[in-house]
A and B are shown apart, each in its own frame.
Chain A
Amino acid sequence: MNKILICLKRVVDYNVRIRVKPDGDGVVTDGVKMSINPFDEIALEEALRIREAGNAEEIVAVTIGSQDCQQQLRTGLAMGADRAILVESDTEIDPLAAARALHALVEKESPDLVILGKQAIDDDCNQTGQMLAAIWGRPQATFASKLELAGTTAKVTREVDAGLETIEVDLPAVVTSDLRLNEPRYVKLPDIMKAKKKPLENIAVSELLGDTEPQLNAVGWAPPAQRAKGILVDDVDGLIAALREKDLVT
């Protein structure tokens, strides 16, 4: 195939302990480590493997967000993407607006395959890929754990509640990555230097979308309910006694 588009979202690193701001107006992000959404690294890795197997010419990495996202795009270029597009937006973009902006790019770039993460680990929405596929009128293969290309179709194994489902889709199609699709490579220092010379284009979100009015209004953030402090037991007998006390075993 000719071209694969992949999405990289900048999110709070998955190792950071999230704290809600005291005024309930969001979570603390000042001075917090930011990374590529883990599922998106997997999406990029899959694209790289497809290109390395000789099945794709070009990989374009896309991010929608502030100028700070250049950092994640540069990492994506260092991992091996050929070029990058930053769709610049100073306000938060929700999944429908992101899908609409991506669709506008898809019209421009005509990729054969678009790979996104199955969910962004900040908003945990799990929507954008499905919405892009709907707007584009193309197949979606979400939660992919295996992707096999065969000419103008792709066979995708999906992680579903009942087990592993395989579907066949015509290209172009939208795929969203699950964790077991692959294990992303580490970036090497020389690649970081090389990535500095790769093209990174800026497009204002207003060029792609008329309306980015949010679909949902955030009312407020709160910390999750805390569980009451538990007890430690010394041995199996203590455990059984504690379980019996709660009527959980006979």
Chain B
Amino acid sequence: MSKVLIIAELNGSALNPSTAKCVACAQAVSPDSIDIAVFSHQCADAAATAAGITGVSRVLCIESEANRHPLAAVLAPQAAELAADYDYVFGPSTTFGKDVMPRIAALLGVGQVSDIMSVASPRSFARPVYAGNAVLTVEVPEGKTIVATVRTASWKDAPTGGSASVENASVTAEIPAHTRFVELASEASERPDLQTAKKVISGGRGVGSSENFDLIYQLATKLGAGVGASRAAVDAGYVANDMQVGQTGKIIAPELYIAFGISGAIQHLTGIKDAGTIVAVNKDPEAPIFEIADIGLVGDLFEVLPELEQKL
């Protein structure tokens, strides 16, 4: 009997799609059951969505005021208590999962497998190292709980259509008061979410200013695409930090990725390697991004962008 517990990620009171990717990864270890733990002050919405993911046996609601915001120091002791009954504890390799999962692992006294790309056997997993320039297969010795984060870009959402039971679970773990939520500043955006968008248009330092980024937004609107950026564009203040794509930003896998004025540093390419089609527009024919682009156009983005927008 092997059992998987997935720590759900929430956006407010809704389930983040990363949870369905964790279910897909969990299914690859051929477990007997997959349960999802929802920590929130209001579990109902997220629990209902989680219960509808195919392959899920039970959804456990741990509803308390303390769980209003996803603070790792608050969630980890509760999750570690639940984990005692499980062989696997999975979470997404989003900033949420990266924050909380190692804390759970350490409370359980085990290591963590970060960023599972694929499952080689129920105890061995492939994961990227060196910014994705090598793939390491690791094996977890028998007798240890397997705590892992799931590299969301490597997995498709497990389909909906399931009907798992939803139960309340209670935990006795002491909740620390030493960590307090203050605020979350998000730029409200009508655009498709970068991590789930089918198309993403990104701009780099070559775009030159936040005003010029309007050209990127216009094309994105036309194509119904999400908007991303290189670190250089974020650091220069053209766009907000949550738009950064790459090793230390978001790892994404859209069907179409179009990069304007991005040179193609390995740290950026790490974030887009799983994209279906990569298009690069850069005025420098030697730019490394052309080495991995499926379609390359050597040209000035200030000419290409308006023409493209007009002709599409």
Name A's B-contacting residues (CB within 8 A): 12, 14, 17-18, 20, 27, 94-96, 99, 118-119, 121-128, 130-135, 137-143, 145, 155, 158-170, 173, 178-180, 214-224, 227-228, 230-240, 242-243, 246, 248-249
A231 touches B114 (CB 8 A): no
CB of B66 within 8 Å of the partner chain: no
CB of B308 within 8 Å of the partner chain: yes
B103 touches A160 (CB 8 A): no
B106 touches A218 (CB 8 A): no
A169 touches B241 (CB 8 A): no
Known: A124-B130, A131-B103. A164 touches B184 (CB 8 A): yes
CB of B1 within 8 Å of the partner chain: no
List A contacts of B131 (CB < 8 A). Answer: 14, 18, 121, 124
20 of the cross-chain contacts (CB-CB < 8 Å) are A20-B134, A95-B112, A127-B112, A130-B101, A137-B176, A142-B72, A143-B99, A158-B95, A160-B99, A165-B184, A166-B185, A169-B179, A170-B179, A216-B140, A217-B141, A224-B132, A227-B292, A232-B296, A236-B297, A249-B223
Chain B 118-138: CB-based contact to A (< 8 A → 1; otherwise 0): 001000100011111111111
Q: In angstroms, how far is the closest chain A Cβ from the Cβ of B189?
A: 10
A180 touches B94 (CB 8 A): no
B124 touches A224 (CB 8 A): no
| Complex Cα gap A103–B133 (Å) | 31
Who on chain B is nearest to A20 by CB? B134
Known: A219-B137, A246-B277. A122 touches B130 (CB 8 A): yes
* Of A12, A163, A230, the contact of B240 (CB 8 Å cutoff): A163
A239 touches B184 (CB 8 A): no
Known: A159-B95, A160-B95, A168-B182. A219 touches B138 (CB 8 A): yes
Who on chain A is nearest to B121 by CB? A219
B95 touches A96 (CB 8 A): no
Who on chain A is nearest to B126 by CB? A222
Known: A135-B106, A145-B241, A160-B96. A167 touches B182 (CB 8 A): yes
| Complex Cα gap A248–B235 (Å) | 31
CB of B113 within 8 Å of the partner chain: yes
List A contacts of B139 (CB < 8 A). Answer: 216-217, 219
Chain B CB within 10 Å, residue with most, of A18, A124, A160, A240: A124
Name B's A-contacting residues (CB within 8 A): 11, 71-73, 76, 94-96, 98-107, 109-115, 120, 124, 128-141, 144, 176, 178-187, 195, 199, 223, 231, 234-235, 240-242, 247-248, 250, 255-256, 266-267, 273, 277-279, 281, 290, 292-299, 304, 307-308, 311-312
| Complex Cα gap A126–B105 (Å) | 12
Q: In angstroms, how far is the closest chain B Cβ from the Cβ of A144?
A: 11
A96 touches B110 (CB 8 A): yes
A216 touches B102 (CB 8 A): no
List B contacts of A94 (CB < 8 A). Answer: 111
A140 touches B106 (CB 8 A): no
A165 touches B256 (CB 8 A): no
Which 10 residue pairs are nearest across A and B when measured between Cβ atoms?
A: A215-B111, A163-B186, A134-B106, A130-B102, A131-B106, A18-B133, A127-B102, A166-B182, A219-B137, A230-B294
List B contacts of A12 (CB < 8 A). Answer: 130
A224 touches B99 (CB 8 A): no
Known: A96-B105, A96-B106, A126-B114. A139 touches B178 (CB 8 A): yes
Known: A96-B110, A121-B131, A134-B106. A231 touches B115 (CB 8 A): no
Who on chain B is nearest to A38 by CB? B248
B311 touches A237 (CB 8 A): yes
Q: In angstroms, how far is the closest chain A Cβ from the Cβ of B233?
A: 13
Known: A99-B106, A227-B273. A162 touches B137 (CB 8 A): no
Q: In angstroms, how far is the closest chain B Cβ from the Cβ of A249?
A: 6
A215 touches B267 (CB 8 A): no
Who on chain A is nearest to B128 by CB? A124
Chain A CB within 10 Å, residue with most, of B129, B255, B273, B277: B129
Known: A122-B129, A124-B130. A240 touches B312 (CB 8 A): yes
A236 touches B179 (CB 8 A): no
Known: A96-B110, A127-B114, A232-B290. A142 touches B99 (CB 8 A): yes
List B contacts of A127 (CB < 8 A). Answer: 102, 105, 111-112, 114
Chain A CB within 10 Å, residue with most, of B102, B267, B273: B102
Known: A130-B102, A133-B73. A224 touches B179 (CB 8 A): no
List B contacts of A235 (CB < 8 A). Answer: 297, 299
B129 touches A248 (CB 8 A): no
| Complex Cα gap A132–B105 (Å) | 11
Q: In angstroms, how far is the closest chain A Cβ from the Cβ of B72?
A: 6
B294 touches A227 (CB 8 A): yes
List A contacts of B279 (CB < 8 A). Answer: 239, 243
A180 touches B241 (CB 8 A): yes
List B contacts of A230 (CB < 8 A). Answer: 278, 290, 292-296
Who on chain B is nearest to A126 by CB? B98
* Of B134, B140, B187, B304, the contact of A221 (CB 8 Å cutoff): B134
B297 touches A233 (CB 8 A): yes
Q: In angstroms, how far is the closest chain A Cβ from the Cβ of B82?
A: 16
B114 touches A124 (CB 8 A): yes
